[in-house]
Chain A
């Protein structure tokens, strides 16, 4: 089932100082990428250049300078050949309401060059794989957002491409639909052997789905590394406690007690969410850390509200990457990071990032 092995060492997407300038905006600025098989997340704020990159990769928009190759084919000269082997799922609605999913996907399969019989068979298969059954014979107009997203994914997969470009596939979905879509995207590679480039402005989504994450900002490459680099394997415990009469600030008491006991605490506060100051992040080195926390809290005689395991989020690393960029190269610092005065308190910094990642449902770029 793993077709990926056939192009194990092949680069799926390669760009070399790729730039795209519009009269007033620079959408991509000397972007050099090397993306191998697997699920790759392309992260960036709205307007970071994600959609522009996809257009160039499909051979639909010429680059101002630099080169790009998809599946070993040059985007400038082999656009048609690339589009035959690549699937694209746009961010916006793209489905006519008055035809059924089956009819629409069959038509799109034929537009990709599949003979009529193959188009029908592949459509039936693909719609089943994305989880559309009886409803596929009903007009698309009556579908829920989640079902429409599945049809859009199906039309991108129906011609069995070697690579699919998914532009904000979780946009507009509720949490459950979001999880299902992310699971589906994961399966596109693990079960179907199709490499995936998925864009999102939500880092958290991608860490569960992607093997590799590329962060771009203002058309520049901010960071490109595997997801395991982003999210370290060591777990973090989030601990929240109550206050008591003897310990009016329970959190502080626990922090001091834990530090005294030798546990490693993360100084950073949590995402700037309400009540964040009351959450302690403890690095879990093993079973004994859980016992230590339990015993410490019990000894202090205060209540343990919660203790949960938490992985490092890419968001935290993104923040670090920002800081790194700021420190490393003054001229090439990321836009937000560069604009922050050095004196800004870390809390505010975190809040701004949290807002930036959570806000904004659409990507106009």
Chain B
């Protein structure tokens, strides 16, 4: 940029060059387009796309781990003689890989919402055509979609492997579909819990810790108490204790409705009757997370 050509007076190189202003007469696509843009930006951001190379590392590693384990399972299934089914069921995969999912959520939920809060970018969003509800919905949908990509991709790998190994097509397809519904529910629930924790803790480090704490401590506590209850023979208690952590909630719902084998001690998952309570609890948590987020952003408006 040759400053001498464009600056009529002065030799100060920081002078603004007058190259002429062009006004914009093209289309303005409005609120729903802005909401979609925020969704896609947040979804890409959840995998570090459009951000620094450093922020791509963790989500990509976790995504690779999720897929790699599925690939290993497929390899075992295909190579193993006399196998008629995958060694790990579709509905069980997310439960087995819960640490990876938890780590992913803990790292990405804060970056999605805490960043905007901490650096006060939120007012810039709300000075544009979108409303509070658009912001919350876009962020929520993006986080849930990111989790779904993380949890559903390995299921697709498992399914492809199962078809390669020529397992029964109808059985596999049904189980795969049930698995997808299960991880979809898990994604929405976990996204809500993660975003609420992150939105309430603007410091990113605390957000990470809070999400990990909520997921692992609640799961650890619930499964420990369940084991104790089961060893003391109170199977009824095992069934209801599962209501108190996000992962056991999903486990309960998929045991009751999606043909999964429960990871509860002794496989004592809820029946269809108590499964309804599990499902209601999941839905209440999702709606509750949304409500808390809406409340949170009413305060930070501008």
Binding site for B on A (CB under 8 A): 1, 3, 55, 58, 60-61, 80-81, 83-84, 86-88, 90, 92-99, 103, 107-108, 110-115, 118, 122, 125, 128-131, 133, 139, 155, 159-160, 180, 183-184, 187, 191-193
Contact = CB atoms under 8 A, between A and B. Distances in A.
A129 B26 contact: no
B28 A90 contact: no
B302 A61 contact: yes
Interface of B: 1, 14-24, 26-31, 33-34, 37-38, 41, 50-52, 55, 115-116, 119-121, 123-131, 301-302
Given A94-B124, A107-B41, A193 B23 contact: yes
Contact of A131 (B16, B34, B55, B302): B16
Contacts of A1: 20-21
Contacts of B51: 98-99
A187 B20 CA distance: 11
A95 B16 contact: no
Contacts of B121: 94-96
A130 B16 contact: yes
Contacts of A180: 14, 16
- Give the 10 A-B residue pairs with the shortest CB-CB distance, closest first: A160-B24, A88-B127, A113-B28, A110-B37, A192-B21, A113-B29, A80-B129, A111-B128, A131-B16, A96-B119
Contacts, number: 129
Contacts of A122: 24
Contact of A93 (B23, B28, B120): B120
B22 A125 contact: yes
Contacts of B41: 107, 110
Given A95-B119, A111-B128, A112-B128, A187 B16 contact: yes
B208 to A, nearest CB: 16
Contacts of A3: 23
Q: Looking at chain B's contact residues, is the secondary structure mostly helix, strand, loop, or mixed?
A: loop
Nearest to B26: A118
A61 B50 CA distance: 33
Given A97-B119, A103-B50, 18 more contacts: A55-B302, A60-B126, A61-B301, A80-B31, A94-B124, A95-B121, A96-B116, A96-B121, A98-B51, A107-B41, A113-B28, A114-B24, A125-B21, A131-B14, A155-B124, A180-B16, A183-B16, A187-B18
A222 to B, nearest CB: 25
Contact of A58 (B33, B120, B127): B127
A113 B129 CA distance: 8
Contacts of A95: 119, 121
Contacts of B128: 83-84, 108, 111-113
B301 A98 contact: no
A110 B19 CA distance: 24
A94 B123 contact: yes
B21 to A, nearest CB: 4
A155 B38 CA distance: 15
Given A129-B16, A180-B16, A183-B16, A84 B28 contact: yes
Nearest to A97: B119
A183 B302 CA distance: 27
18 contacts: A1-B21, A55-B301, A55-B302, A61-B301, A94-B120, A98-B55, A103-B50, A107-B41, A110-B34, A111-B37, A112-B128, A113-B128, A122-B24, A128-B19, A129-B19, A139-B52, A159-B24, A191-B18
B33 A113 contact: yes
